[in-house]
Amino acid sequence: MECNFNFLIAILFFGVLGVCNGGALRKNFYKSSCPQAEQIVQNITWKHVASNSTLPAKFLRMHFHDCFVRGCDASILINSTPNNTAEKDAVPNLSLAGFDVIDEIKTQLENTCPGVVSCADIITLAARDSVSFQFNKSMWEVLTGRRDGNISRASEALANIPSPFSNFTTLTQAFANKTLNVHDLVVLSVAKELGQAIDRDWQRAVQLANKQPRTGLFSETRPG
């Protein structure tokens, strides 16, 4: 039952993030330039999930925190410099994990197809593949072709990522600022927790989501 619930939440999660296409994502984006790309991501992700069952939740959370700031652009992976504190070192992101697996995937892809596969696509595919591991097959399609951002500011993460202590009113406003509605709030928040107990605010959100149409969606950043 828990596995089925987690799978359902993940499907809903990617139903919201999956439309962040900027008009340029497509199926099999790397078919010609790096035909092994998606298989490499899956192989390495599955290898690690096999020995660490917490990775699906970690990758979903990383994906969420990345997309909620500047769109799904892998800015969460950029390291801080003496002149700039990056998103990765913002307080909401200090507990993120799984970066070592993303690094391993990126290294293998660079050895196979240098300079071709974006880190943004790696994060998105790894999130999908980590959840799919228990089913021994990819459970949904991920469109690819994202570009990596080159701007990452801790201040933007602090300003955009909802606090775990936020009440329902604050959360709905934070999501509204991203043109997301109550339905998206419920789906993304529950997906982020991967089936853990939801408090009274989430229960209220579920009730409201059943009454309100879904309107807002992410708009993915695609820097040139």
Which strand (E) or helix (H) includes residue 110?
Answer: helix 99-112
Do residues 130 and 59 touch, judged by C-beta distance below 8 A?
A: yes
- Dig out the tokens for 161 from the structure: 């990522």
* Catalytic position from the list 48, 63, 65, 183: 65
Q: Is 142 annotated as a binding residue?
A: no
- Dig out the tokens for 119 from the structure: 């880190």
CA–CA–CA angle 180, 182, 185 (5° rounding): 70
Q: Is 162 annotated as a binding residue?
A: yes
Q: Is 87 annotated as a binding residue?
A: yes
Q: Is 129 annotated as a binding residue?
A: no
CA distance 16 to 21: 11
Q: Is 66 annotated as a binding residue?
A: yes
Burial group, residue 60, by CB count within 10 angstroms (0-12, 13-18, 19+): buried
65 is catalytic: yes
Q: Is 73 annotated as a binding residue?
A: yes
Q: Is 110 annotated as a binding residue?
A: no
So which residues are the catalytic ones? 65
Q: Which residues are annotated as a binding site for Ca(2+)?
A: 66, 69, 71, 73, 75, 87
Q: Which residues are annotated as a binding site?
A: 66, 69, 71, 73, 75, 87, 162
Q: Which residues are annotated as a binding site for substrate?
A: 162
